[in-house]
Chain A
């Protein structure tokens, strides 16, 4: 069965650079969630989208923005990168009518040097 796809899988950036992470949900899933997992930490909710609209917002820095497109894929844009942004960024998708069944992607490991 098709799973959540994230690209790139690994990304290395320098401080103050920008990064764009992409998430392609499971086909027919209309809701996308972004989570950040720092080294040795639990995943923290950043933001979610349903039908291209932001549905919930967590501890997402102002330097980050995200959107969902008409094909339901989502992009997380990160600017003025800081060392502390180094983390594993997970995307999860679900159907709006079954929001609790979130399926996670493999994650993008971002390293800021």
Chain B
């Protein structure tokens, strides 16, 4: 069965620090990869997605992610975080011709001013 692992459950950073959140998935075939963000009390919003092509994907709000097929990874990065980035971040995958999203456990990011 497909699964998604997010390495860090809680991350605390100061403003302007760099961010990297790890995501690994288990599926040997073609996958579609996503990062969603959930701000406190709000719904899931799509940050970025990878279907094919350039493995370095740029999303909204200065986020980017790199797909490394050999490592089954899709890590999320941002060079300089802001207090407003405080949220929970979910990595998700869809694979095998199924459209449903399989989510990781999420990483709760707290950015201190």
Is A105 among interface residues, defined by CB-CB distance under 8 A? Answer: yes
Q: Which of A31, A35, A100, A103 has the most CB of B within 10 A?
A: A100
Q: Which residues of B contact A106 (CB under 8 A)?
A: 42-43
Query: Of A43, A48, A101, which is within 8 A of B46 by CB?
Result: A101
Question: Chain B: interface residue count, which band?
Answer: 20 to 34
Asked if A33 lies at the interface with its beta carbon under 8 angstroms from chain B, I say yes
Q: Determine the main DSSP class of A at the interface with B.
A: strand
Report if A31-B99 is in contact (Cβ < 8 Å); known contacts: A100-B49, A104-B43. yes
The distance in angstroms between the C-alpha atoms of A50 and B44, with both chains bound, is: 21
- What CA separation (Å) do A46 and B102 show in the bound complex? 11
Query: Is A107 touching B104 in the complex (CB atoms < 8 A)?
Result: no
- Which 8 interchain pairs have the tightest Cβ spacing? A99-B99, A42-B103, A45-B100, A104-B44, A106-B43, A104-B43, A100-B32, A43-B103
Interface residues of A (CB under 8 A from B): 31, 33, 35, 41-45, 48, 55-56, 58, 90, 92, 94, 99-107
